[in-house]
Amino acid sequence: MNSRRIFIKQAAVAAAGAALIPGFACSPAPATASTKTVGLQLYTLRDLLPKDVKGVIEKVAKAGYKEVETYGYTAEAGFWGLDAKSFKALLEANGLKAPSGHFGLEEYIKSGDKELLKPLIAGAAELNMEYFTCPFLAEDLRTSLDDYKKIAGRLNEAAELAKQSGLQMAYHNHDFEFKKYGETTGYDILLQETNKDLIHFELDLYWVVRSGNDPLALFEKHPGRFVMWHVKDMDKTDNTKNTEVGSGKIDFKTIYKHAKQSGLKHLIVEQENFAIDPFDSIKKSFDYVDHELV
């Protein structure tokens, strides 16, 4: 599984989210976190990476990014044809680090077979990653609250194994986790039943807003758990599309005022569709985040 189908398999679209409501700006804002390093989820450049991994990485660094987040690693295919050691050398040559990677964990979650995790953890450890991140859950894995309780248990077990290699587990959301089951959601279960010391959350702000939820309410209820953010903006006219950060309708400035409460350590830009050249796009997003947020 060396392609990132995990993001291509979209969940059914919830009611289109609006921009963060102006009332949020009235909330008392904790001191801004001191995050200064801006990362890029490499899935943003998924159409270009397999053709020229070295050239793409060089252009990511040239745009100003200091971190990247990987996706799709397998021991057989490596990182777009490079083994972990060679890819690490490529990153280092361009002044880049990879604090997190997205790894396909669906077969492990289905079976509980920890042997499936070991080659993925080894790849993450070779890059000195901090976070071994679960990026997606197939629809058949998440049909009930009991399913989410099972997933939380599997993540706890994976986290114990990852810890042996110096890694912490993380979970990245879409919008389906916010589906209501009575008075609770799958995301509530994941937050409540995972080990706080070993499992953290990568909050995809676009999907939170698109699902109609409030990131600030999550920070208030679960302070310190959202150590990574995916920062991608919502098109002003079409909620199903992304646009360059700062060009859409999400109020990132207000959200970032609460970064310390969130526990933010790594801010990661991502974009899934383009109206302009992808490299111009990632540069525009970097400049906004670097000048206006961090």
Domains and CATH numbers, the chain: 5-293 (3.20.20.150)
Res 35: pLDDT:
58
pLDDT in tens, the chain (294 residues): 444 443 333 333 333 344 443 333 334 444 444 557 899 999 999 999 999 999 999 999 999 999 999 999 999 999 999 999 999 999 999 999 999 999 999 999 999 999 999 999 999 999 999 999 999 999 999 999 999 999 999 999 999 999 999 999 999 999 999 999 999 999 999 999 999 999 999 999 999 999 999 999 999 999 999 999 999 999 999 999 999 999 999 999 999 999 999 999 999 999 999 999 999 999 999 999 999 999
Q: What is the CA radius of gyration of the chain?
A: 18
Q: Are 20 and 254 in contact (CB under 8 A)?
A: yes
User: Residue 20's pLDDT is what?
Assistant: 45
Dihedral sign (CA 162, 163, 168, 169): positive
Token pair of 162 as six digits = 């990852």
pLDDT tens readout for residues 194-220: 999 999 999 999 999 999 999 999 999
Rounded CA separation 56/52 (Å): 6
Structure confidence at residue 32 (pLDDT):
45
pLDDT confidence of residue 272: 96
State how far the Cα of 112 lies from the Cα of 250, in Å rounded to an integer.
Answer: 38
